[in-house]
Every structure is written in structure tokens, then in C-alpha cells.
Amino acid sequence: RTVACVCDWSFDLPDAITGTQKITVPTGQQVRLPIDIMLPDSTIPGSYTLRATFDYGNGQTQEDSLTLHVLRHRNPPRLKSKIALFDPPGETAAQLKAAGMAFQPVDANTDLADYEMLIVGKAALTPGGVAPDISRVRDGLRVVVFEQTAAVLEKRFGFRVTEYGLRWVFPRVPGHPLLAGLDREHLRDWRGSATILPPRLEYEMQPRHGPTVRWCDIEVPRLWRCGNRGNVASVLIEKPACGDFLPIVDGGYSLQYSPLMEYREGRGMILFCQLDVTARSESDPVADSIANRVLAYAASWKPAARRTAVYVGEEAGRQHLEASGFGLQRYAGELSAEQVLVVGPGGGTSLTEDSAAIAQWLEAGGHLLAIGLDQPEVAFLPSPIGITHREHIATYFPHPAWGSFLCGIGPADVHNRDPRMLPLITSGALIVGDGVLATADEKENVVFSAMTPWQFDGSRQWNLKKTHRRSSFLVTRLLANLGAVTSTPIIDRFHAP
């Protein structure tokens, strides 16, 4: 039956804004009631509640409420860098023009020698198409890559990807400039719909399997995608185990995907922004703010000191680290400030005779990563370290802050899917979680990891593949945080897929 209803609403500002509207709802229908609230200029940023009471005139009432977040208005940044834009589709160009940002359109053959920053627009790349040569990243060029399709990320660059359609992602690096002033509640349920993907999966009907899609060139029975409304990130990159990739935001299963990652190589960097910030069906203030922050951060980015990795330990560790993109040197009895010492299983005992020199090197600012060392193998360190073999499955620890040697690492990266005894740190260091990670005091740049990725053989035991990948990312990230130089084919694949 047709229902008449009176809606009283109020917005809990210091000086509350209220209103009343009458509506009639026909049988089997819905009525949407737009509410337009003009915020006073004096409104302080924060969380406010919109409340509504519905009176049906027959003694029945209903109440509802919704929390809204008010952000401080930020003008688009005025960038002094000379900026190039590669954007054949034009959606990013339109957004930059609307924000009043200056840029120079370029094509795939443009020499970028005169530019300090390159912006790659949303869906500007194709799996096999032409694109600018960004080899100057190694010399200091900064590149911002906005949303690209899964086909480009997977088939051109070689990332592991997924099309989730996340409506909530999480800060991984507290204190990072890109997240300043934002909290977890701001990274969810954005206004409007994302547009990088169609609202529904494009599938083929297969006998016995029904609707089927291709993922990593594997036929997968799946029909679960229902629109893009509220999406924060639609096409996600799994955190790579190779290369200096710092995840700033993450989400998805086991928080193993990052839609906002910083890749560093040489004196430059590439910022991959897969957050749905471009050409949304409706403007969202957080999405717009992040898009501006990404450009401002890239324009002001400065390279950090880089060091060469020196490895001591079992051969399997050397092979693993070299496959992860690190150019390793062999330990020859002397260390310099431009080196990071990596000590794997079997390597600690060989350093005992050099313990005094290593202590002096650490005191002078040397950096050291210890991976999977037993109690006898840490005797070469200047401070006594306690290690106990205990079973490790999982642990929890707060997000390491921006600038920490554990920056970008999360509890999911130390999740062991094959419970076994590990050499956990119990004393002599700042213990993280159950001791699967630890750092020395402020006087020593030493990091400990009980997880040894090459000892989780996913090729023989399939349930260890994920543990191998996540622990590989863990060790790669720790080494990159310590300043170790690494490289991947990403820069070359940008120009020549």
C-alpha cells in the first residue's frame, strides 16, 4: 500500500542544521530523498553525524544515522617541476586542466631529457603499444603512473595482479607524506563509481563450468563482480618479491595487494597509483586530495643514500637474493659505509674473528641484516643477542612508521603456513611480534629476520608458495630499507614491453 511519511533530519554541527520533508512511497517502490547541506566556512574538519527520524503517522517511527567526514579544503599544488604528460585517452589531462596544473603533452617518441617528472595518465598504456623511454629514472626522473588495466600490469610489466574492486584499503606506512591528515575511515566507500573496469566481468560460458574468466592465463569459473560503486581500488598489484617497492597502502586477501606503491631505482622513482582517483562518476574529496598529494610528493621527492649488498652465508641465500634483483659482493674482510652486510644461515660463525672490526663499522653507521641465524651465529655482533627455537605461525605488531627499518612490513608478511621451529629473537634487541623480527638499539643499524624465504620451497609443497612469496617480499623490503641497491626490468618494459 502507499505510505505517507514525514522525515525529520539533523546534521550534528556545533550549530545543528535541520530540515523536514514529506514523501509518499507507492506500493513496491522506493523514494530517494536528496539532502543538500551547505557547510559554514567555520566548520572544523572532523566526523559529524547525520540523523533521520521517519514518522509514518500511525504510531510507527524509524531512526537511522550516517557518519560523514569533513576534510580541510586543499588547493591543487602549484608544481615548479617541468612536467610531461603521456595520456592518449585524455581523462587525466582533463582532470589536471580542471585543477589548473601546468603540463606539456608528450607522445611515445618524446625525449624526456628536458623534463623532471612524467605523468602517465589513466589507461594510457596497452599491453603491447608504444610508450615513452623512462630510462632516465636511474638518473633522477620521477614518474607517476595512474590507474592501468590488469592486462597492462600483468602482460607488459609482469606483476601479479587481481581485479578485486575493494571498497576499503588500509594505511601501511603511518606518517608517510601521502597519508598526512588521513585516517582509515577516509580510505573507504568513496563517492560515485570507479571507471577503470566495466561494472561486470566479461565472461565466457564453458560446459560444466558455467561463466569463466581468464586470470594469469588460467580459466577460472567466476561471476562475482557487481558494479564499481564506492570502489577505492579496482585493479590491484600484489606486493612484488623483487625490487625496491614500498607499499604505502594495502588491502585485499591477507593484505598482500598494494594500490599505492613507490618503486625506487638509481636516483629516481616510479609511483604506481592504482587507487581509483581519476574520472570517477562523482567527485570524492579524498580521491581528489590523494591525486594532488601524489603529484606534489613526486615533484618534491629526493633520493636516499644507496648501498651495495655484501653477502655471507649459504649458497641458496646468495642465489635467492640475486634472483630478487640484488647485485651481491662477496665479503673480503673489510666493509665500507657504502655497503650493507647480509648474513645468512652458516655465515655468522665465519665472522667471529672479525667481530671487533664489524663492531667498529656498525658504530660508524654500518647497516646489517641477519637472516635465520642460530644462537652460535650471532656471537660476532657487539651486543649479546638471545635466540630460542620455537614454533612460529603468526604474530601481530603495530605498523612500523615512515623511516623505520621495518617500514612497509606487516604481520601478513611473516605468516607461516607450515608451522615449524624458527630461531626467534628473545633478548638483546627491540623485539617485534613474537621475535620473528627485531631491530638493534639506536646505536646499531641491525635488523633480524627469523624467516628465511629460500627455506620455504613452494615448488615441492604447494601450500608454501604464498609463504615463500610473502617472506621473499619481507627480506627484499628489509634490505631496501637498509639502503641496498636493487633493480628489476620494470623501467625497460615500460618502453619495450
Written as tens digits, the pLDDT of the chain (497 aa) is: 678 889 999 998 888 889 999 988 888 898 888 888 888 888 888 899 999 999 988 888 999 999 988 888 777 888 888 999 999 999 999 999 998 889 999 999 999 999 999 999 999 999 999 999 999 999 999 999 999 999 999 999 999 999 888 999 999 999 999 999 898 999 999 999 999 999 888 888 888 888 888 877 888 887 677 789 999 999 999 999 999 999 999 999 999 999 999 999 999 999 999 999 999 999 999 999 999 999 999 999 999 999 999 999 999 999 999 999 999 999 988 999 999 999 999 999 999 999 999 999 999 999 999 999 999 999 999 999 999 999 999 999 999 999 999 999 999 999 998 889 999 999 999 999 999 999 997 667 999 999 999 999 878 888 899 999 999 999 999 999 999 999 999 999 999 88
Place of cell 635488523: 447
Identify the burial level of 94 via C-beta atoms within 10 angstroms of its C-beta, where 0-12 means exposed, 13-18 middle and 19 or more buried: middle
Q: What are the beta bridge partners of residue 163?
A: 235
Q: How far, in Å, CA of 482 to CA of 149, rounded?
A: 32
* Torsion 301-305-310-312 (CA) sign: negative
pLDDT on residue 71: 87
**Phi/psi of residue 287, each to 5°?**
-60, -45
* Torsion 349-351-354-358 (CA) sign: negative
Tell me how far CA of residue 354 lies from CA of 81, 341, 349, 358, 372, in angstroms.
Answer: 48, 13, 10, 6, 20
CB-CB contact of 89 with 124 (8 Å):
yes
How do beta strands 83-86 and 210-215 pair? unpaired
Q: What is the CA radius of gyration of the chain?
A: 26
Amino acid found at 193: S
Q: How far, in Å, CA of 451 to CA of 459, rounded?
A: 18
Tell me how far CA of residue 491 lies from CA of 105, 134, 138, 265, 307, in angstroms.
Answer: 20, 6, 9, 9, 20
388 grid coordinates? 630460542
| Residues 6 or more apart whose Cβ sits within 8 Å of residue 289 | 71, 74, 182
Q: How many CB atoms lie within 10 A of CB 469?
A: 20
* Torsion 156-158-160-166 (CA) sign: negative
pLDDT on residue 85: 97
pLDDT on residue 231: 96
pLDDT on residue 223: 65
Amino acid found at 349: T
Q: How far, in Å, CA of 144 to CA of 273, rounded?
A: 7
